Amino acid sequence: MKYDAIVIGGGSAGYVAGSVLSRNGRKVLVIEKDRYGGVCVRSGCVPSIFLYDVSFSLARLREIGNYKGLSLNVEQGDIFSVRNNIIDYLSEAGKKLIENAGGETYFGEAKLSKDKVEVDGRELEYDNLIIASGSSPSLPRISGVENGITEDQAVNLNFVPKEMVVVGGGFAGVEIAQFYARLGSSVVLITRGKMLENFSQDARELVRESLDWDGIIVKEKCEPVYQDRGLLKTTCGEFRGEVIVYATGRRPNFPLGLSNLGIEFNCNGIKVDDTMRTTNPKVWAIGDVVDKSRKVAHSAMMEGYVAALSILGKSVKADYSAVPQVIYTDPQIGSVGSEQRAVKSSSFPLRASTRAIIHGMKEGYVKVGFDEDNRVCFGEVVSQYAEEMINLLSIAIKAKMKAEDLALLPLVHPSTSEGISNAAKALFNLDVDVFKDKQ
Ligand SMILES: Cc1cc2nc3c(=O)[nH]c(=O)nc-3n(C[C@H](O)[C@H](O)[C@H](O)COP(=O)(O)OP(=O)(O)OC[C@H]3O[C@@H](n4cnc5c(N)ncnc54)[C@H](O)[C@@H]3O)c2cc1C
């Protein structure tokens, strides 16, 4: 059997590429060894943000009397079944969307020979092969690590542990620590360097205050030494956990036989050009399996579109200049663009935002960076709404928007995202809602 394109992996990257090619009349097969939807649906974004939403609502409802004058008593119901139903729905939808577009799907593990894909003893030929096999958790090499669980397993627990130790201060570790703490776990978070070290000091401090408020013990510059069942020995003491979670990074999933293809790859992933083509002209790679820095679902999807459109003969390129990232903590941190390119920046504190005052949630800020031509090149938002607001800054960067145009853009009043144009106003001393320090 010969296909115009075989896609290995039905996750965020693979289902996009498979669907676009199928919609355009190509004969496509998407092979998935586990469940469609990949990590994002079954053990990443979806369960993680669901538990964030639940814990955020619980925290707000419990304290609502403080800022809205209401009195409520909230009990936790069967949140884990609701989470599982959402995962099942989205995973099934991923498979059906490929089929609806005209593509074929197949459950099995794909293996590679020089110019064929083998699955369950069948040998398949292709004009184009798209590798979208994603990534898996990478665990520290310490004794007893097998008694812990990975970040992917942590977001799929069906109970709230009494005590939890989380190893890893990246986005997954911090999110897991906060939502389980809010659901009732006593949590210790240990991290080798600084927590969320790719984010600014201001953002880290606000999240740190929030973790302190939730009673999470954070130990920085601390590494695990060994695990003895529920006890974790570290360089900064011993900690006991009903569950010990390792959120210690990820490694690419290389399909068996990858080296038969004669393509370049290293321990961070497969090398591609800006159309997602590998060094073998018939082979493309997209998503977490690619050798790149920011591995998130929306860049995996962008790469799926770019690879599929390139195969269809269109002239498109992957552009990473405006790929945002959001940490789903309370408050959320959103960041986009390059701070190194910014020659100046200005910011707006949300305590001066009318909408934030009405909400009663005044922590956070918007910061915007501008390049030497006065165009937006960087954004950072710390807010309950960072996930939505950072998208506006992504559009501003892509559109190379000028500082003065952003400053005079009349965004809805009173809205939290108004803070974005107010941050640009601050560059021109037009941020009239902010009290200035008198000399
Ligand atoms: C806890 C956590 C939270 C996250 N939260 C976010 C978030 O909020 N926002 C965000 O943008 N990103 C988030 N991510 C990252 C996001 O999940 C990944 O960037 C995204 O899933 C990558 O998509 P992908 O298609 O490249 O790979 P994957 O989603 O890993 O999909 C690859 C698929 O390929 C299959 N496969 C692998 N090898 C083979 C083979 N040989 N044959 C057949 N099938 C194979 C796998 O089973 C898998 O289903 C999170 C990740 C984690 C772990």
Is the per-residue pLDDT at 126 higher than 80? yes
Question: 219 and 170 share a domain?
Answer: yes
**pLDDT tier for residue 61 given thresholds of 50, 70 and 90:** confident
Distance 11 CA to ligand 1 centre (A): 6
Which residues, listed in sequence order, are joined to residue 228 by a DSSP beta bridge? 231
**pLDDT tier for residue 3 given thresholds of 50, 70 and 90:** very high
Question: 305 and 383 share a domain?
Answer: no
Question: 22 and 126 share a domain?
Answer: yes
> CATH code at 356?
3.30.390.30
Q: Does any ligand 1 atom lie closer than 6 A to the CB of residue 21?
A: no
pLDDT score of 312:
98
Q: Does any ligand 1 atom lie closer than 6 A to the CB of residue 31?
A: yes
pLDDT score of 55:
95
From 205, 223, 246, give the residue that closes a domain. 246
From 218, 246, 274, give the residue that closes a domain. 246
Q: Does any ligand 1 atom lie closer than 6 A to the CB of residue 33?
A: yes
Is the per-residue pLDDT at 115 higher than 70? yes
Give mean pLDDT, residues 52-66.
86
pLDDT score of 439:
63
- pLDDT single digits (tens) 21-44: 999 999 999 999 999 999 999 999
The residue assigned the tokens 């020659």 is 343
Q: Does any ligand 1 atom lie closer than 6 A to the CB of residue 87?
A: no
Is residue 317 assigned to a domain? no
- pLDDT single digits (tens) 286-314: 999 999 998 999 999 999 999 999 999 99
Is residue 434 assigned to a domain? no
pLDDT score of 140:
97
* pTM of structure: 0.96
Give mean pLDDT, residues 407-422.
97
Is residue 438 assigned to a domain? no
Q: Tell which atom from ligand 1 comes closest to the C-alpha of 155.
A: 1
Strand 237-240: give its sheet, edge to edge.
224-228, 231-234, 237-240
378, 342 Cβ separation under 8 angstroms: yes
Question: What is the H or E stretch that residue 106 is in?
Answer: strand 104-107
Question: 129 and 256 share a domain?
Answer: yes
Q: Does any ligand 1 atom lie closer than 6 A to the CB of residue 288?
A: yes
Is residue 346 assigned to a domain? yes
pLDDT score of 50:
98
Which residues, listed in sequence order, are joined to residue 389 by a DSSP beta bridge? none
Question: 17 and 115 share a domain?
Answer: yes
For the chain, first and last CA: distance in Å?
79
Backbone angles phi, psi at 83, to 5 degrees: -55, -45
CA 161 to chain centre: 24
Residue 316 identity: V
Is residue 319 assigned to a domain? no
Question: 222 and 95 share a domain?
Answer: no
pLDDT score of 434:
95
Question: 238 and 297 share a domain?
Answer: no
Would you state the structure tokens that stand for residue 225, as one six-digit string? 């030494």
- pLDDT single digits (tens) 153-179: 999 999 999 999 999 999 999 999 999
pLDDT score of 68:
75
> CATH code at 112?
3.50.50.60
Q: Tell which atom from ligand 1 comes closest to the C-alpha of 9.
A: 34
Q: Give the whole-angstrom CA distance, residue 304 versus residue 64.
A: 43
Give mean pLDDT, residues 52-58.
94
Domain coverage including residue 236? 145-246
Distance 380 CA to ligand 1 centre (A): 25
Would you state the structure tokens that stand for residue 361, as one six-digit string? 């949630």
Is the per-residue pLDDT at 73 higher than 80? no
Would you state the structure tokens that stand for residue 390, as one six-digit string? 């950072």
Is the per-residue pLDDT at 71 higher than 80? no
From 202, 219, 246, give the residue that closes a domain. 246
pLDDT score of 65:
72
Q: Strand 111-112 and strand 265-266: pairing? A: unpaired
Is residue 166 assigned to a domain? yes
Distance 438 CA to ligand 1 centre (A): 52
Question: 45 and 131 share a domain?
Answer: yes
Q: Tell which atom from ligand 1 comes closest to the C-alpha of 176.
A: 1
Residue 117 identity: V
The percent of residues in the chain predicted with pLDDT above 70, rounded, is 100
Question: How many folded domains does the chain comprise?
Answer: 3
Share the mean pLDDT of the chain. Answer: 96
Distance 324 CA to ligand 1 centre (A): 17
Of 166, 143, 140, 139, the residue nearest 155 (C-alpha):
166
Would you state the structure tokens that stand for residue 352, as one six-digit string? 């001066």
Distance 39 CA to ligand 1 centre (A): 3
- pLDDT single digits (tens) 232-272: 999 999 999 999 999 999 999 999 999 999 999 999 999 99
Question: 242 and 256 share a domain?
Answer: no
Question: 422 and 302 share a domain?
Answer: no
Q: Does any ligand 1 atom lie closer than 6 A to the CB of residue 150?
A: no
Mutation test residue for ligand 1: of 7, 31, 34, 40, the one with most atoms within 8 Å of CB: 40
Give mean pLDDT, residues 274-280.
98
pLDDT score of 318:
98
pLDDT score of 438:
75
Would you state the structure tokens that stand for residue 327, as one six-digit string? 């940490």
Give mean pLDDT, residues 9-28.
98
Question: 222 and 347 share a domain?
Answer: no
- pLDDT single digits (tens) 337-378: 999 999 999 999 999 999 999 988 889 999 999 999 999 999
Is residue 391 assigned to a domain? yes
Is residue 269 assigned to a domain? yes
Is the per-residue pLDDT at 67 higher than 90? no
Q: Give the whole-angstrom CA distance, residue 384 versus residue 34.
A: 34
Q: Does any ligand 1 atom lie closer than 6 A to the CB of residue 13?
A: yes
Question: 40 and 122 share a domain?
Answer: yes
